[in-house]
Amino acid sequence: MSNVTIYHNPACGTSRNTLELIRNSGTEPNVILYLETPPTRAELVKLIADMGIPVRELLRKNVEPYEQLALADDNFSDARLIDLMLQHPILINRPIVVTPQGSRLCRPSELVLGILPDAQRGEFSKEDGERVVDAEGKPIKK
């Protein structure tokens, strides 16, 4: 079993790019399709704590439930925001990657490079053509 896990949404370009960067390191990760298999409350709380981010930072803003639930209002407790993410997993921003080197919300996708246990094995470009890794497997600095 792999020591890398990605909470993935195949409809998301950032998530697809992150998955391919993981694979470019020679690792086949555990892929959790979190819209079909949402994390438990305990898992979500642990992910947020491990990433060291505020609960609100994990909220995806450009999806319908965000507007419908008036989540832009700052009057929701962290516990309530977690409840809403569990009820509406589309509100959980992605991709989240967990490795022995840490857990991270990988937006943009190249943030995954800082927590992968293995180096990139070759050149990598995002779906939009942006080069992220050179032919020697070294990240391209912007």
Catalytic residue annotation:
12
Nearest 10 degrees: CA dihedral of 130, 92, 102, 126? -10
Q: In angstroms, rounded to a whole number, what is the distance separating the alpha carbons of residues 82 and 123? A: 38
Of the candidates 43, 28, 14, 46, the one whose C-alpha atom is nearest the C-alpha of residue 112 is 14
Within a 10 A sphere around the Cβ of 77, how many other Cβ atoms?
A: 9
Helix (H) or strand (E) run with residue 104 in it: strand 102-105
Q: Are strands 96-99 and 102-105 parallel, antiparallel or unpaired?
A: antiparallel
